[in-house]
Amino acid sequence: MDPETEHLLPNGDRAWVLTTAEASKHLPNLLAFFRSGEVEPLIFGDAGQPEAVVIPFEVWRALTAAATDEHGFDSSYSVLRHRLANPQPSIPIEEVADELGLDLSKPIDDSDLPKPQ
């Protein structure tokens, strides 16, 4: 059996699935990979079927926050904290909005804010 198998996802995307034995060989280097800013997950399982994923802790936190926070505040805060702790060159506001799941073309509902006098 190949140590890596291409798996077709329901939405048409493809994921590469490592065997458990092959994934274990990559674990010692994975932390350095994540520390360098990479967030590509390590997907593994048996018989070419994805069964588990190793992701950076901050990605896990953001996913957990997004899944449990109906207004998105916790997720946005987690992304902001990560960016402040790991400064990088500026990126376009459109990329930030996309990462936070915001649509910049939609008007903002500010009806609950006090009106300027």
**Parallel, antiparallel, or unpaired: how do β-strands 14-18 and 4-8 relate?**
antiparallel
Residue 113, in any domain of the structure: no
pLDDT of residue 69: 67
Residues 64 and 27 in one domain: no
User: 61 and 82 share a domain?
Assistant: yes
Question: Residue 109 falls within a domain, yes or no?
Answer: no
Lowest mean pLDDT, pick from 19-23, 43-47, 109-113 = 109-113
Residues 47 and 13 occupy one common structural domain = yes
Q: Which domain holds residue 46?
A: 4-54
49 and 67 in a common domain: no
| Residue 77 pLDDT greater than 80, yes or no | no
Beta strands (DSSP E) in 19-85 are: 42-44, 52-54
- Please identify which residue in the block is written with the tokens 């609950």: 112
Query: Based on the structure, what is the number of domains in the chain?
Result: 2
Lowest-confidence pick of 39-48, 49-58, 99-108: 99-108
pLDDT tens digit sequence for 15-44:
999 999 999 999 989 989 999 988 889 999
Same domain, 68 and 93: yes
Query: Does residue 95 form part of some domain?
Result: yes
| Between residues 20 and 88, the one the model is more confident about | 20
- The region that residue 51 occupies, defined by phi over 0 for left and psi between -120 and 50 for alpha, beta otherwise, is alpha
* Mean pLDDT value of segment 58-67: 80
Q: What is the pLDDT of residue 52?
A: 94
- In this structure, are 9 and 50 located in the same domain? yes
Same domain, 42 and 74: no
Q: Does residue 31 sit in the same domain as residue 65?
A: no
Cα–Cα distances (Å) from 117 to 32, 110, 114, in that order, read 54, 15, 9
**Sequence letter at residue 88:** Q
Are 19 and 47 in contact by the 8 Å Cβ rule? The answer is no
Give the global pTM: 0.57
Q: Is the pLDDT of residue 9 over 70?
A: yes
Same domain, 64 and 96: yes
| 112, part of any domain | no
Amino acid residing at 67: A
